[in-house]
């Protein structure tokens, strides 16, 4: 794989926030990649980075069995920054000492006092100043390795920042990557640019060119099939791949009858008419809805839909004489396997419909050009590629579509009712200028009927739940707080305009304990 020559390698020791380090470094205009500590040597060899960052992590370096960095990283002569566990690890591996804090450690907001100048905070912090940082540690360094000196301290960490300017090694006990360390991004930018000497000119335009070259090298003269959903990730992947290999790409858009109002037409008009990208529009409504008849269990629905997607893709691949590659819009958060120390299996909350089962069954190789990016970076790449804001700024939409927003049995009639209500809800959100402030908004048609009175007559119809959440990555979420008159207004419109619904509720559950979708 070709990579930008000027990069930073981040070794992941299992911190919850390792991905944020990559973000901050890229925000500073420097390309960075995360690799699990177990594959440190291969990643270093492949990337030839100009600097290395060692992440935090849950283990304790005081235990001999805890993870270490390969000695080769320290012999390579590149600058190294250790964060929390990373700092402790440098101490342990380079001749210092780490102990378990007798007083239980520091968690949350703390302040460091700067004692000496340091290249890490050149032009930013001065001796004598006090700065807010965010700590989360139970162990602490109590002797630094030869060559290091303490340049800042905090009440719980006498070695809050340590530096060996000769070797360009730095260690911080706090987490500069989180927003609760207000100057953290600038400290990381200083490390990447000032200490490692990188120009900070990495851009999406450069990423686009690198990826195009990579896709051409990988695909050669092969044929690529790309499932297009109308969502941001697959749209950006398809436009990028089309730019690289043109007509060797065929996109398949499956209308499973579980889409939102007008979605099919929008996808077809954008890709066929605007981009001139070969697009097969498969109407598979009958196949999906007949198979879903009588299915009420959420997992059974998801599994049927996942399998039927594969059947449809297989049939379409045969029609074009076979395909060698499957393109997916897989993103960074999907890729990084957080380093697991417990090794225990995690429970399945939901089987996310996953086209990942496809290549094995169809003997195809994956093309995943967005693997290094976060969602907002994908949006930026989409803009760079000239995709309209209508696509780039879209809320995510799950592959199983409305099926998982209709608890109980899914029928065409119920899909139609939900589509109408959902369209009104989203239209009002857009009109109120709230679409971009919300991460995802949708309606859920409940399998509950309630009594109402309309025009002096009795009604006995379905209940609709409205949901809107704010989130950064979908892993955690909070209910969106609508301004005063918004929900009553939408409620009135939906009950007046959609036959079959006579009551509307709003879902205030956060995630956890709820999930975003209801099934
Ligand atoms: N209706 C569909 N037709 C064809 N492929 C689909 C369809 N729905 C989902 N997929 C495939 O499944 C993948 C995963 O869906 P996912 O919702 O995670 O991504 P997305 O739809 O591209 O973006 P977003 O997360 O913004 O909705 C898509 O990238 C696409 O390849
Ligand atoms: O492509 C997808 N296939 C799926 O099977 C699927 N299930 C949930 N989602 C989306 O994932 C995010 C988190 O959803 P949950 O909190 O409901 O797990 C939310 O954005 C959901 O819309 C899916 N996306
Ligand atoms: N956040 C961290 O990296 C923690 C490091 C180590 N586990 C400690 O408790 O001190
Ligand atoms: Mg989607």
Q: Give the C-alpha separation, 192 to 190, whole Å.
A: 6
**CA dihedral over 379, 383, 386, 391, signed as positive or negative:** positive
The reply, when asked if residue 234 is annotated as ligand binding, is yes
Q: How far is CA 89 from CA 51, 138, 174, 246, 429, in A?
A: 17, 14, 14, 48, 50
Q: Is 235 labelled a binding residue? A: yes
Token match 């995360």: residue?
34
507 is in an annotated binding site: no
Which of 177, 316, 372, 377 is catalytic? The answer is 177
Residue written as tokens 């949350």? 108
Residues 337, 136, 80, 33, CA torsion sign: positive
Name the closest-CA residue to atom 23, ligand 2.
398
343 marked as binding residue: no
Residue 52 CA, ligand 4 centroid: distance in Å: 35
* Structural domains of the chain ordered from first start: 7-195 (3.40.50.880), 209-338+348-392 (3.40.50.620), 411-506 (3.30.300.10)
* Cα–ligand 1 centroid distance for 277 (angstroms): 17
Return the HEC string of 386-402: CCCHHHHCCCCCCCCHH
Strands 139-143 and 130-137: unpaired
CA 87/CA 97 separation, integer angstroms: 11
Q: In the structure, how many helices (H) and strands (E) does the chain have?
A: 16, 20
Establish whether residue 155 lines the binding site of ligand 3, counting it when its CB lies within 6 angstroms of any ligand atom.
no
**Tokens 């696509």 belong to which residue?**
391
Dig out the tokens for 485 from the structure.
């008159």
- Asked whether the beta carbons of 440 and 489 are under 8 A apart, the reply is no
CA distance 439 to 223: 35
The answer for residues whose C-beta is within 8 angstroms of residue 314's C-beta and 6 or more apart is 361, 362
SS3 content of the chain, % helix, strand, coil (to 5): 35, 25, 40
Dihedral (CA of 47, 52, 58, 62) sign: positive
Instruction: State the distance from the centre of ligand 4 to the C-alpha of 302, rounded, in angstroms.
Output: 14
Among this protein's residues, is 84 annotated catalytic?
yes
CA distances from 111 to 85, 191, 499 (A): 19, 20, 59
Q: How confident is the prediction along the chain (519 residues), in pLDDT tens digits per residue?
A: 445 568 999 999 998 788 889 989 999 999 998 899 999 999 999 999 999 999 999 999 999 999 999 999 999 999 999 999 999 999 999 999 999 987 778 888 999 999 999 999 999 999 999 999 999 999 999 999 999 999 999 988 999 999 999 999 999 999 999 888 999 999 999 999 999 999 999 889 988 998 999 999 999 999 999 999 988 999 999 999 999 999 999 999 999 999 999 998 988 888 887 888 889 999 999 999 999 999 999 999 999 999 999 899 989 999 999 999 999 888 877 765 445 444 444 566 777 766 666 777 778 899 999 987 888 889 999 999 999 888 899 999 999 999 999 999 999 999 999 999 999 999 999 999 999 999 999 999 999 999 999 888 999 999 999 999 998 778 778 999 999 999 999 999 999 999 999 999 999 999 889 999 999
Question: With a 6 A CB cut-off, is 137 part of the ligand 3 pocket?
Answer: yes
Instruction: In whole angstroms, give the CA distance from residue 57 to residue 47.
Output: 23
Give the residues surrounding ligand 1 with Cβ less than 6 Å away.
Answer: 227-229, 231-234, 252-254, 256, 328-329, 355, 394, 396-399
Residue 73, CA distances (Å) to 49, 146, 161, 198 in order? 10, 18, 21, 19
Q: Is the CB of 58 under 6 A from ligand 3?
A: yes
156 in contact with ligand 3, CB cutoff 6 A: no
Give me the catalytic one of 131, 137, 175, 353. 175
Q: How far is the CA of 517 from the centre of ligand 2 (A)?
A: 7
CB atoms near residue 490 (< 10 Å): 23
Is 118 assigned a catalytic role?
A: no
ipTM of the assembly?
Answer: 0.89
Q: Is 352 in the pocket of ligand 2 (CB under 6 A)?
A: yes
Question: Does residue 165 carry a catalytic annotation?
Answer: no
The answer to whether 231 is a known ligand-binding residue is yes
Question: What single-letter DSSP state applies at residue 248?
Answer: G
Q: Beta strand 149-154 with 224-227: parallel, antiparallel or unpaired? A: unpaired
> What is the CB neighbour count within 10 angstroms for residue 59?
18
């Amino acid at each position: 794989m070709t990579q930008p020559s000027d990069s930073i390698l981040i070794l992941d020791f299992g911190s919850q926030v390792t991905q944020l380090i990559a973000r901050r470094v890229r925000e500073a205009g420097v390309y960075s990649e995360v690799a699990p500590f177990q594959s440190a040597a291969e990643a270093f060899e492949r990337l030839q980075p100009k600097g290395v960052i060692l992440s935090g992590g849950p283990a304790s370096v005081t235990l001999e069995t805890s993870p270490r960095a390969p000695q080769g990283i320290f012999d390579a002569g590149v600058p190294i920054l250790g964060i929390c566990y990373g700092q402790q690890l440098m101490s342990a591996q380079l001749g210092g000492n780490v102990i378990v804090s007798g007083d239980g450690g520091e968690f949350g907001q703390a302040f460091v006092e700067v004692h000496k100048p340091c290249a890490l905070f050149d032009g930013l912090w001065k001796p004598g100043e006090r700065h807010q940082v965010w700590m989360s540690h139970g162990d602490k360094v109590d002797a630094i390795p030869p060559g290091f000196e303490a340049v800042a301290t905090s009440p719980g960490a006498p070695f809050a920042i340590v530096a060996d300017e000769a070797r360009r090694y730095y260690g911080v006990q706090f987490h500069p990557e989180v927003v609760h360390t207000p100057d953290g991004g600038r400290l990381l930018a200083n490390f990447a640019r000032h200490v490692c000497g990188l120009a900070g000119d990495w851009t999406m335009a450069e990423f686009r060119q690198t990826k195009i070259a990579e896709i051409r090298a990988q695909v050669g003269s092969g044929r690529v099939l790309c499932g297009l959903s109308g969502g941001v990730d697959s749209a950006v992947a398809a436009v990028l791949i089309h730019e690289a290999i043109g007509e060797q790409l065929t996109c398949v858009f499956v209308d499973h009858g579980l889409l939102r109002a007008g979605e099919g037409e929008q996808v077809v008009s954008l890709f066929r008419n605007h981009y001139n990208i070969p697009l097969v529009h498969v109407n598979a409504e009958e196949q999906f809805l007949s198979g879903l008849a009588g299915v009420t269990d959420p997992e059974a629905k998801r599994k049927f839909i996942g399998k039927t997607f594969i059947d449809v893709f297989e049939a379409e691949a045969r029609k074009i004489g076979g395909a060698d590659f499957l393109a997916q819009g897989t993103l960074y958060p999907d890729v990084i396997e957080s380093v697991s120390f417990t090794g225990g299996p995690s429970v399945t909350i939901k089987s996310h419909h996953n086209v990942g089962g496809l290549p094995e069954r169809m003997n195809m190789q994956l093309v995943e050009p967005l693997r290094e990016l976060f969602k907002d970076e994908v949006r930026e790449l989409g803009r760079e590629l000239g995709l309209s804001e209508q696509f780039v700024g879209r809320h995510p939409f799950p592959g199983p579509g409305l099926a998982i927003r209709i608890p109980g049995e899914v029928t065409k009639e119920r899909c139609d009712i939900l589509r109408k209500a959902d369209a009104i809800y989203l239209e009002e959100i857009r009109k109120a200028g709230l679409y971009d402030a919300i991460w995802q908004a949708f309606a859920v048609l409940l399998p509950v009927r309630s009594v109402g009175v309309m025009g002096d007559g009795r009604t006995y119809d379905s209940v609709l739940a409205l949901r809107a959440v704010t989130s950064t990555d979908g892993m955690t979420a909070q209910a969106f707080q609508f301004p005063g008159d918004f929900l009553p207004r939408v409620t009135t419109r939906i009950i007046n305009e959609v036959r079959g619904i006579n009551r509307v509720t709003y879902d205030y559950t956060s995630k956890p304990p709820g999930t975003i979708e209801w099934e």
